């Protein structure tokens, strides 16, 4: 069965410092991996995805993520955090076993960036 783990409920970081939001996954076959951000009472906004190719993926708002097959991880990173990055972040995966149709989400990580 497919699953996604986001081990941290919350990540706190000072503005200007680098941030990392962790994600590990479990699927059979090759994964498609995604990061989404959610602001209060809003839907999800797409940040970036890994389908194939370069393991380092760059996305919106300066975020990037690195696909690590051996560690089955897809951590989200940003070199310098902004207060406006404070939001709820979701990692998601789809795979061939689900027909690449369904997205399975992690539990979410709340990012708090302090001035």
Partner 1 sequence: GAVVSQHPSRVICKSGTSVKIECRSLDFQATTMFWYRQFPKQSLMLMATSNEGSKATYEQGVEKDKFLINHASLTLSTLTVTSAHPEDSSFYICSAKRRGEFYGYTFGSGTRLTVV
Residues that bind partner 1 (CB under 8 A): 32, 34, 36, 41-46, 49, 51, 90, 94, 100-108
Q: Going by C-beta distance under 8 Å and a sequence separation of 6 or more, which residues neighbour residue 16?
A: 80, 81
Distance between start and end Cα atoms, the chain: 41
Nearer to partner 1 by Cβ, of 83 and 107: the residue is: 107
Shortest distance, CB of residue 68 to partner 1, whole angstroms?
19
Shortest distance, CB of residue 88 to partner 1, whole angstroms?
9
Nearer to partner 1 by Cβ, of 9 and 115: the residue is: 9
CA–chain centroid gap for 34, Å, is 6
Shortest distance, CB of residue 105 to partner 1, whole angstroms?
5
Shortest distance, CB of residue 55 to partner 1, whole angstroms?
17
DSSP string, 5-60: E---SEEEEETTS-EEE--EEE-SS-EEEEEEEE-TT--EEEEEEE-SS-SEEE-G
Nearer to partner 1 by Cβ, of 19 and 104: the residue is: 104
């Amino acid at each position: 069965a497919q699953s996604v783990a986001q081990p941290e409920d919350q990540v706190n970081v000072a503005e200007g410092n680098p941030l990392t939001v962790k994600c590990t996954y479990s699927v059979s076959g090759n994964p498609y991996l995604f990061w989404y951000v959610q602001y209060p009472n809003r839907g999800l906004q797409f940040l970036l995805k890994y389908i194939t190719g370069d393991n380092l993926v760059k996305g919106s708002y300066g975020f990037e993520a690195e696909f690590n097959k051996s560690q089955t991880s897809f951590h989200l990173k940003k070199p310098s955090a902004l207060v406006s990055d404070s939001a709820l972040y979701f990692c998601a995966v789809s795979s061939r076993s689900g027909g690449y149709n369904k997205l399975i989400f992690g539990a979410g990580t709340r990012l708090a960036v302090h001035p």
